[in-house]
């Protein structure tokens, strides 16, 4: 399987390592927060469009909501060009 193929994981350590190695961090959509708890989850990368709508959260809060919603991370290691990919999407298990 080529590294340009998408992979899916629910492993917290794998997710955290993949995100942090690309400068990303866990976030929630501000407008979906409920009683201070995260709403819709996102992975945010500095310099992307989420600055106004996303709020950084800690990994514990992220994974609590991740498990509550039975999510998985669909991600890609590399682009076809061989460059590191930041493609990822939270999907239902």
Q: 3-class DSSP state for residue 54? A: strand
> Is the Cα torsion angle 5, 22, 44, 70 positive or negative in sign?
positive
Q: What is the DSSP letter of 58?
A: -
Q: Strand 88-92 to strand 25-29: parallel, antiparallel, or no bridges (unpaired)?
A: unpaired
Give tens-digit pLDDT for 5-31: 899 999 999 999 999 999 999 999 999
Predicted model pTM? 0.89
Indicate the burial class of 53 (C-beta count within 10 angstroms; 0-12, 13-18, 19 or more).
Answer: middle
Give tens-digit pLDDT for 42-70: 999 988 766 689 999 999 999 999 999 99
Residue where the block lists tokens 């992975």: 43
């Amino acid at each position: 399987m080529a590294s340009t193929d998408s992979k899916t994981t629910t492993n917290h350590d794998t997710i955290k390592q993949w995100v942090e190695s690309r400068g990303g961090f866990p976030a929630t959509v501000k407008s979906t927060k409920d009683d201070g708890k995260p709403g819709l989850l996102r992975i945010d990368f500095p310099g992307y469009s989420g600055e106004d709508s996303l709020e950084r959260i800690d990994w514990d809060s992220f994974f609590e909501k991740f498990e509550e919603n039975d999510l998985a991370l669909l991600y890609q290691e590399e682009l076809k060009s061989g460059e590191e990919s930041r493609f990822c999407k939270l999907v239902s298990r």
